[in-house]
C-alpha cells in the first residue's frame, strides 16, 4: 500500500515493533542494571566495602559465566555513609537518574529504613543487603525483600539458646539504647518475666564507650546465671575485656552483630577474653570451615587483595536469591516477573547462609534461622541452635 495511509501504517508498524522490543527500566539486550548502596565512607565504612564486595563477587561470577540470558549484571554502587539523609539521596539517584532495574543494598538499619518508601512509591524491587531492623521488611511491602534474618529472629534464637542452657534462670543485659538494640531487647524482655527466666540487671553502655567498669560491677552484683550483650563489636569487646578484668564470669551471649568472633577477640585483647562467649550467627560456618570453602574461593578470586572476614559473606545470600529470580523470570524480563519469581523462591541454598531461602507473597523475610558460635581451643566452633557442652577428647 502506497501513499499517506501506507506510510502511516509503516510508521505504526515500526513503533509497535519498537514498543514490543522495549525492555523494562534498567534492562537492555546486553545488561541488567542493579543499584547498590552502603556506608562506603564515614566511621562504619569498614563494614560497607566488605559486605557490598561479597555480593559483587557473586554478580561478577555470573557475568563471567555468560550473564543472565546473555545480559551482564551492571552494578552502580552509591555511598550512604550510614546516614539516613545521605542514604535516601543515594537511593533517589539510583532510581531516578541511574534508572536501575532493582536495588540490592542497605547495611545500616536506620539508614536503610529511611529509604523504604522510595522503593514503594517508585515500584522498584529492593533486596536488603544486611540491615536487620524488622520494620524495614515488615509489615509486608510488595517491593521490599530480605534474606538477612531480622532482629526478632536474632532475639528468638538467643532466648531459645539460653533456655537450653543448664541452670539458667537469672539473666542480665548490657545494651545500647538505639533503635537497633531497643527492638532486640523488646523481644527478649517479653521472655524474661516468667518463673523460668528473670531479668536481674539491665545496664546501658553508650556507643563508642571505652570503659565498662560501672556496668560490669553492677551486673556482677546482681549475680546472673547468663549475661546478654546487645552491643556492637567495639563496645562488646570493651565489656568483655572489663568483665574478665573484674571477675564477671560468663556465660555471655551476643547478637549476630558480634558473630565475627575473630574480630571480637582482636578488639577484646585476645581469646582469653572470650571465654564462655557465644554469638548468634547467620552464616553456615566460620571462615576456614568446609561449609564456607566455595564462597571463600569466589570472594578471593574477585577480591584477592581484600581481607577475608565474616563481613565478606553477609551480602551473598541476597545476591544468590536475586540471580535465581532473574533466571526464573525468563528472558523477557520485567519487574513484575522478577517480583513473581522472588515470591516463588522455595528452599533455595544461598552459598554461605545457614538457612535456605523461602519467600512467599505473604512473607518477604526469606531467612528465619540462625545458630550459635563460640570459641574453643583458639578456634571458632559451631554450637548449634541449642546449647551443647564442649566435646572432651
What is the model's pLDDT at position 23? 66
Residue ranges per structural domain of the chain: 31-148+291-342, 152-281+371-384
What is the model's pLDDT at position 278? 98
What gap in Å lies between CA 384 and CA 370, rounded to an integer?
A: 8
What is the model's pLDDT at position 16? 40
* CATH 3.40.630.10 correct for 152-281+371-384: no
CB distance 324 to 61 below 8 Å: no
Mean pLDDT by 10 residues, the chain (393 residues): 49 40 84 97 86 97 98 98 96 98 96 97 98 94 97 94 96 95 90 88 96 98 98 96 97 95 94 96 95 97 95 97 98 98 98 97 96 93 92 53
Phi then psi for residue 220, to 5 deg, are -60, -40
What is the model's pLDDT at position 339? 98
Domains 31-148+291-342 and 152-281+371-384 alike in fold: yes
What is the model's pLDDT at position 71? 98
Q: For 393, which DSSP code?
A: -
pTM: 0.90
Please give the order of strands across the beta sheet that includes 170-175.
Answer: 198-204, 170-175, 226-230, 252-254, 277-281, 371-376, 379-384
Question: To 5 degrees, how large is the angle CA 261–CA 243–CA 311?
Answer: 20
| Distances in whole angstroms, Cα of residue 145 to Cα of each of 103, 106, 108, 311 | 10, 11, 15, 20
| Distances in whole angstroms, Cα of residue 386 to Cα of each of 127, 148, 166, 329 | 30, 20, 11, 38
What is the model's pLDDT at position 45? 83
CATH superfamily of 31-148+291-342: Response regulator (3.40.50.2300)
Amino acid at each position: 500500500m502506497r501513499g499517506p495511509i501506507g506510510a502511516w501504517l509503516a510508521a505504526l508498524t515500526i513503533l509497535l515493533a519498537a514498543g514490543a522490543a522495549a525492555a523494562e527500566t534498567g534492562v537492555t539486550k546486553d545488561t541488567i542494571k542493579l543499584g547498590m548502596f552502603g556506608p562506603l565512607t564515614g566511621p562504619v565504612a569498614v563494614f560497607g566495602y566488605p559486605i557490598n564486595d561479597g555480593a559483587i563477587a557473586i554478580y561478577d561470577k555470573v557475568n563471567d559465566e555468560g550473564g543472565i540470558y546473555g545480559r551482564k549484571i551492571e552494578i552502580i554502587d552509591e555511598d550512604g555513609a550510614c546516614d539516613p539523609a545521605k542514604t535516601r539521596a543515594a537511593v533517589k539517584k539510583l532510581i531516578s537518574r541511574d534508572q536501575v532495574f532493582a536495588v540490592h543494598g542497605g547495611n545500616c538499619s536506620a539508614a536503610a529504613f529511611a529509604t523504604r518508601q522510595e522503593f514503594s512509591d517508585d515500584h522498584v524491587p529492593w533486596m536488603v543487603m544486611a540491615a536487620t531492623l524488622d520494620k524495614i521488611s515488615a509489615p509486608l511491602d510488595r517491593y521490599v525483600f530480605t534474606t538477612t534474618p531480622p532482629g526478632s529472629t536474632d532475639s528468638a534464637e538467643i532466648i531459645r539458646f539460653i533456655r537450653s542452657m543448664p541452670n539458667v534462670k537469672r539473666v542480665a543485659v548490657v545494651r545500647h539504647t538505639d533503635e537497633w538494640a531497643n527492638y532486640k531487647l523488646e523481644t527478649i524482655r517479653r521472655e524474661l518475666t516468667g518463673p523460668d527466666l528473670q531479668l536481674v540487671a539491665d545496664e546501658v553502655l553508650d556507643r563508642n564507650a571505652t570503659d565498662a567498669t560501672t556496668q560490669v560491677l553492677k551486673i556482677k552484683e546482681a549475680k546472673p546465671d547468663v549475661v546478654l550483650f546487645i552491643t556492637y563489636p567495639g563496645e562488646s569487646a570493651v565489656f568483655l575485656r572489663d568483665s574478665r578484668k573484674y571477675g564477671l564470669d560468663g556465660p555471655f551471649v551476643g547478637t549476630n552483630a558480634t558473630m565475627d568472633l575473630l574480630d571480637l577477640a582482636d578488639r577484646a585483647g585476645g581469646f582469653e577474653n572470650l571465654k564462655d562467649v557465644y554469638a548468634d550467627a547467620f552464616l553456615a560456618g566460620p571462615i576456614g570451615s568446609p561449609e564456607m570453602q566455595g564462597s571463600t574461593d569466589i570472594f578471593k578470586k574477585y577480591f584477592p587483595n581484600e581481607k577475608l572476614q565474616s563481613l565478606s559473606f553477609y551480602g551473598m545470600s541476597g545476591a544468590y536469591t536475586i540471580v535465581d529470580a532473574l533466571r526464573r523470570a525468563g528472558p523477557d524480563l520485567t519487574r513484575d516477573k522478577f517480583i513473581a519469581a522472588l515470591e516463588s523462591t522455595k528452599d533455595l541454598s544461598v552459598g554461605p547462609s545457614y538457612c535456605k531461602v523461602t519467600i512467599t507473597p505473604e512473607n518477604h523475610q526469606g531467612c528465619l534461622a540462625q545458630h550459635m558460635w563460640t570459641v574453643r581451643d583458639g578456634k571458632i566452633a559451631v554450637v548449634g541452635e541449642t546449647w551443647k557442652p564442649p566435646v572432651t577428647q
